[in-house]
Amino acid sequence: MRRTLALVFASVMLAAAAAAAPAAKPAKKSLHKQLDKNGNGVVSAAEAKSGAKERFKSLDKDKDGKLSADELVAGHMEWFNQQDSNSDGTVALAESIDFMCGPAPDKKGAGSAHTECVMVHTAVYKAADENGDGKLTKEEYEKYSRQQHAKVDKNQDGLIIVQESFAILMPTYSKPGKEVTKD
Ligand SMILES: [Ca+2]
Ligand SMILES: [Ca+2]
Ligand SMILES: [Ca+2]
Ligand SMILES: [Ca+2]
């Protein structure tokens, strides 16, 4: 089941990446790079928003227009595997930041956005690393994802793509998203 989900997810990501950048290897591409469609080193509010929408669609496996806790967790577990770059089964803060925010930019003007991303994401990471040992385990990440889902989905019928679920889908980029999801 998991394998199938991973395969479906991978093929969706492949298709998306093929459209944007044919030569890129999507599995190793940081989230930051996936979102930064125009490649200027900054994930704009519009880029974060369209990224969240794409992700929502790809995670909504049963296509009911809502994200169940299981669907969200499956997506986050996919992220977990992509973040664990040294394959030791846990995600260190540095691995997580690499994936979410990309490397520190050399492009002028992208520096402050990167600093902001690192700050926001460090807070997300610390909240998820329940025992605070600097190693995020799959269990901690899953637990955190379910808690976040439950917090927003009070009536337990699944999340729809509104401001609140945007913050859960793209926690690191939820700040720019807040400005633009009220349409
Ligand atoms: Ca950009
Ligand atoms: Ca669904
Ligand atoms: Ca690791
Ligand atoms: Ca931990």
pLDDT, one tens digit for every residue, the chain (183 residues): 555 555 555 554 454 444 444 443 345 689 999 999 999 888 999 999 999 999 999 999 999 999 999 999 999 999 999 999 999 999 999 999 999 999 887 766 678 889 999 999 999 999 999 999 999 999 999 999 999 999 989 888 998 887 778 888 888 887 643 333 323
Residues 6+ apart with CB under 8 A from 51: 34, 35, 43, 170, 173
Alpha carbon distance 52, 33 (integer Å)? 14
pLDDT, residue 21, reads 45
Report the separation in Å between the CA atom of 170 and the middle of ligand 3, taken as the mean of its atom positions: 21
Report the separation in Å between the CA atom of 64 and the middle of ligand 2, taken as the mean of its atom positions: 5
Report the separation in Å between the CA atom of 80 and the middle of ligand 2, taken as the mean of its atom positions: 20
Split into its structural domains, the chain has a count of 1
pLDDT, residue 5, reads 53
pLDDT, residue 117, reads 92
pLDDT, residue 6, reads 54
Report the separation in Å between the CA atom of 64 and the middle of ligand 3, taken as the mean of its atom positions: 34
Q: Domain range holding 75? A: 2-180
Residues 6+ apart with CB under 8 A from 24: 17, 33
Ligand number with the minimum distance to the CA of 134: 4
